[in-house]
Amino acid sequence: MSVKEKTEFQPKIVAFCCNWCSYAGADLAGTNRTNYPANVKIIRVPCSCRVNPIFILRAFQRGADGVIICGCHPGDCHYITGNYYTRRRMTLLFSMLDFLGIEKDRTRVEWVSASEGGRFAEVMTEFTNDVKAIGPNRKLEDLRCKAK
């Protein structure tokens, strides 16, 4: 890696992945050795509908620059209807975050199945680039956390 790239802004990205599809998809990306940016760090949740909006607010508060939620494709949820709840909740939350000044490009919901390792890497690369393009997020960040 060149010096220039090192000083480039490296966003912190939190990815919530459902245990059944997206986490397995991320594992498959690994098995296939498909590269994606190291900025993405995955938190395993049983289902995308387990992601409480509070987690996302917390991430932004603690200095995350982007949050992505991945679940099974609509209709394929392991828990039958979980991803439909995710879709509704997050549409609402993201529009409110947008209103607060957290750009829409910082938040995303994506459907990645267990067989879509390539797609997982693609999505993560694309999302990281989008977040890089808009720069660091300072809107919700709690500076008291930083001082610590």
Looking at the DSSP bridge assignments, the partners of residue 13 are 40, 66
* Residue 38 lies near other proteins (rule: CB under 8 A): yes
**Binding characters for other proteins, 64-93, by CB under 8 A (x = yes):** x-------x--xxxxxxxx--x---x----
Segment lying near other proteins (by CB under 8 A), choices 96-104, 108-116, 128-136? 108-116
20 binds other proteins (CB under 8 A): yes
Q: Residues 3, 4, 7, 54: which binds other proteins (CB under 8 A)?
A: 54
The reply on whether position 116 binds other proteins by CB under 8 A is yes
Residues of the shown chain interacting with other proteins in the complex, contacts defined by CB under 8 A: 1, 12, 14, 20-21, 23-24, 26-27, 29-31, 33-36, 38, 41-47, 49-55, 58-59, 62-64, 72, 75-82, 85, 89, 113-116, 121
